[in-house]
Amino acid sequence: MEIMKKMLGVMMVNGMKWDIKNKGAKMTINGFKFTQHALKRVNNRGIVKEMIMLTLEFGKVYNDKIVLLNKTIKKLLLKIKDPEIKKWLIKLIDKKGLTLVVDNGTIITVYSNNK
């Protein structure tokens, strides 16, 4: 499985190209814009773009949230062979998964599910 190969601002996840633009304090991942609040939370909570990309790719949509649960992460760890991806999945397990709150293609906030 071809996952997360870095190429000049574009990453491959499961064969899909992920366009990452980071201009100063603004960031988009595959068309999803980040509010200033979301960028602050990402930085404060030790969340990196790879974790967000995996959540966008494998998370489930619940109303205004995209959620990647520990149960799903554990299943992915059994399927995925790429050591780089496994490293990020293990870090996501430490956070008990990840939740993105989204409104009209904008990520409002990001938090771990470690409650």
Residue 12 lies in a domain: no
Residue 21 has pLDDT above 70, yes or no: no
Residue 22 lies in a domain: no
What average pLDDT does range 34-63 have in this prediction? 90
Distance between CA atoms of residues 33 and 94, nearest Å: 26
What residue numbers bound the domain in which 54 lies?
Answer: 29-112
Give backbone dihedrals phi and psi of 38, rounded to 5 degrees, phi first: -60, -40
Is the pTM higher than 0.85? The answer reads no
**Selected residue with higher pLDDT from 12 and 67:** 67
Q: What is the pLDDT of residue 9?
A: 42
Q: What is the pLDDT of residue 17?
A: 46
Residue 19 lies in a domain: no
Number of domains in the chain: 1
Residue 8 lies in a domain: no
Query: Could you report the per-residue pLDDT of 58-113, keeping only the tens digit for each?
Result: 999 999 999 999 999 999 999 988 888 999 999 999 999 999 999 988 899 999 99
Residue 20 lies in a domain: no
Residue 21 lies in a domain: no
